[in-house]
Structure 1
Amino acid sequence: MIGARNETRGQEAVEKLKAEGITAEFVKVDLDDLNQLTSLSALTDIDLLINNAGISGNIHSDKGHLDMEKSAFDYSTTDLEETIKTNFLGTHAVIKELLPHSLTENAKIINITVPVSQEYWMPLAYVTSKAAQNAMTFAFGHQFKKDKSKKQIFAVMPGAVATDLNGAKVGDSPFVKSPEETAQMISKFIFDDKNHNAQIINFDGTIYDNYEPGLRNKVIKDVAKNGLKRKFKK
């Protein structure tokens, strides 16, 4: 099943798959319309859910895609609100609708994500929405473990991909991948027979099993050294 907000483009993707002998159908999924997402609960026997839909967070700009030169201070509250609603709350709603009855016992949920903001790359609205999504990936994964569920949820950071979201094209940089290359890389992690529950996997295979490893390790070492109770200077 191909889920998309744009029915025309979704149907085009379905027809391409059918031309290759793959059975496919289109399902309308608009992450910006949380009420519409309730219809997804009627779907059944889903073994694999890949959450890749999202918006750039540069909604009210004439560029329309991730603006690498935009100051973090120039993002409005509306930019943040709309981007978080679509990229985080929408993805959360999709999973919540499918989780009770639509996903199979051994289903895998994969969220396509990015690192948090860095010195050379800081699209505030987009990375904030993905930070929330990453936190959800870990929280749901740990809940699966606690519930002794066989389901898995993990995230993949594919790096730079030539899509409408970022306006990049193959050849712009040696780091920009084609959608086809990215799909093959993600498939490798999905079908490697390893349990990746509650992990974020970088495109080079590096695995992160907590969101802020540096901070987490510092806190653990600090507690081990000083004990759980500390006196703080005023």
Structure 2
Amino acid sequence: MTTTLITGANRGLGYETARRLVEAGHTVYVGARDPQRGKQAADELGAHYLPLDVTSDESVDAAAEQLTELDVLINNAGIPGPFKEARDLTADEFHQVFDLNVYGPVRMIHRFLPLLERSANPVIVNVSSGLGSIAAAVQADAIDTVPVWVPAPAYGASKAALNMLTVQYAKQLPNLRINSVDPGYTATDFNGRTGYQTVEEGADIIVRLAMIDKDGPTAEYLSLHGTIPW
């Protein structure tokens, strides 16, 4: 039995990913800050609720103490941050976005790595975005599945940082499969349901990378359409 923990799994892509993995036979832990929403989601999914705030060392530590095994960690929790022009952004706004989107996965990997390293097939999926692709931001034709320009410097920078973490960790931890994924522009509460993909379509690449074996890819940046330029 594969044990999987998904952060921010009480709605949207995290919820749909949990549903699909439960269906595939995984024992799934729904990580969520809100107890009411987390428990409701877990009950609906046939999963387990795990109280978890990835911006808190204490919360991550407490969550880790509740698990005795872990095979797959999906770092899905994130926030878009402010959609502002550069001249209007403050360091505090950047810090809030990075605390969840970057430091959150760092906390999770640091604390859950001992469990993952005991697994016969340890996997980490970092849910990134096409907006984290520097190539796509610079070259209009580099990738055609995401908006080329969106005034979200904090969000894009946080996902670019997450992508670098993926590569750095994958190189240092060759026994794990660690990848970044771009779900695509998916209609969820995250973006006010403006995305052109369904949540089922958006979750496809997350589920696919969560189910790879020891011969699967690592240190890659992937979408359903293939490899994304860094």
What TM-score, normalized to structure 1? 0.72
Given that residues 153 and 197 in structure 1 are in contact (C-alpha distance below 8 angstroms), is that contact kept between their aligned partners in structure 2? yes
Q: Residue 36 of structure 1 corresponds to which residue in structure 2?
A: 59
- Does the Cα contact within 8 Å between 1:41 and 1:102 map onto a contact in 2? no
Larger radius of gyration: 1
Report what 1:87 is aligned to: 101
Equivalent of residue 97 in structure 1, options 74, 88, 111: 111
Match of 1:120 in 2: 149
Please say if 1:181 is aligned against 2:201. Answer: yes
Instruction: Name the % identity.
Output: 31
Runs of 4+ in 1 over 3 A off after TM superposition: 189-194
Contact 1:2–1:25 at 8 Å: present in 2 too? yes
Q: Which of 181, 197, 206 is the aligned partner of 1:156? A: 181
Q: Corresponding residue for 1:57?
A: 81
> Counterpart of 1:27 in 2: which secondary structure?
strand
Post-superposition Cα deviations, 1:95-126, rounded to whole Å, max 9, x if no partner, equal 11000135513111001101336352230111
Instruction: State which of 27, 39, 45 in structure 2 corresponds to 1:11.
Output: 39
Letter in 1 for 2:81: G
Q: Where do residues 126-165 of structure 1 align in structure 2 (5 Å cutoff)?
A: 126-145=155-174, 149=175, 151-165=176-190
Label 1:188 to 1:5 Cα distance change in 2 as closer, same or farther (>3 A): same
Q: Secondary structure at the match of 1:40?
A: helix
Q: Normalising by structure 2, what TM-score? A: 0.73
Could you say what secondary structure the match of 2:31 adopts? strand
For residues 155 and 64 of structure 2, the distance between their equivalents in structure 1, rounded to whole angstroms, comes to: 27
| Secondary structure in structure 2 of the residue aligned to 1:49 | strand
More helix by share: 2
- 2-side partners of 1:40 and 1:197: how far apart? 26
Consecutive unaligned residues in structure 1, runs of 5 or more? 19-23, 59-66, 171-175, 212-234
- Alignment partners' CA distance in 2, 1:7 and 1:179: 23
SS of the counterpart of 2:60?
helix
Distance (Å, rounded) in 1 between the aligned partners of 2:185 and 2:53: 24
After superposition, the Cα gap between the structure-2 partners of 1:26 and 1:163, relative to the gap in structure 1 and judged at 3 Å, is same
Show CA shifts across 1:53-75 (max 9, x none): 011212xxxxxxxx3xx313222
What amino acid is the match of 2:43? E
CA RMSD of aligned residues (A): 2.0
